[in-house]
Amino acid sequence: MDTLNTTLQLGIDVSNINPPVNWQVVRSAQITYGFIKATEGATFIDKTFTTNWEGMKQAGIIRGAYHFFRPTTSTPQEQADNFLTIVKDVLEPGDLPPVLDIEAWPETVGQQWKKINLDQRIERVQIWLKKVEQATKRRPIIYTSPSFWKEYMGDTQNFTRYPLWIAHYTDKPEPLIPAHNWGGNGYTFWQYTEKGTVAGVSGNVDKNRFKGSIAQLMALVNDSVIA
């Protein structure tokens, strides 16, 4: 049973590893937004992206797209290009900002991060974010975990201008936030379980909370637009 404050906005995130999603049913389950995987690395395109992207719009779910970053298999420029090729032309007003997913799972990705030093890690993440921000005129969101940010990113505060989507599975009422409470900004989204259940999705699904109202969620969408 979901014991978190249901006055906060709940969302899910899915990818090709999830069975087909019935977004109309998901919306009726009080899910107001969702993130879906678009791309990974320089060449991978999630085969479910287009179906999910269109289905979310039809269901009236606020939608966002994410890119799974691979630190050494290709350049950050190539990875940004892969994401932009799929997402840029379908990103509409009212959609959530682009998301960069940086983590050390699976283990093969963790090994890639270990092959480069801290300065290289920071530089490569910065390159992707800046290129996508310039191309979409939207300030991206960073998805990561407290442990990853501290172990692999040196708990740097270099990225606290970007909204934080934190992944931390805990029974406590609030997640751990790296980089000194993300520069004092705290988290924007919290992925609080990978074993959630939602009508319209078979099996377990990642569930998230947004700390605020629908109006505040839409303000995030609007405020992410840059000149």
How wide is the angle at C-alpha 205 spanned by C-alphas 166 and 4, nearest 5°? Answer: 60
47: Cα within 13 Å, side-chain hemisphere = 5
Q: How far apart are CA 148 and CA 179, in angstroms?
A: 11
Amino acid type, 140: P
State yes or no: is 101 an active-site residue: yes
Helices and strands in the chain: count of H runs, count of E runs: 8, 9
State yes or no: is 81 an active-site residue: no
Question: Which among 46, 95, 101, 133 is annotated as catalytic?
Answer: 101
Q: How far apart are CA 153 and CA 125, in angstroms?
A: 10
Question: Which among 40, 103, 133, 206 is annotated as catalytic?
Answer: 103
Write down the residue that tokens 């530089």 correspond to. 123
State yes or no: is 46 an active-site residue: no
Question: Which among 13, 40, 46, 81 is annotated as catalytic?
Answer: 13
Question: Which residues carry out catalysis?
Answer: 13, 101, 103
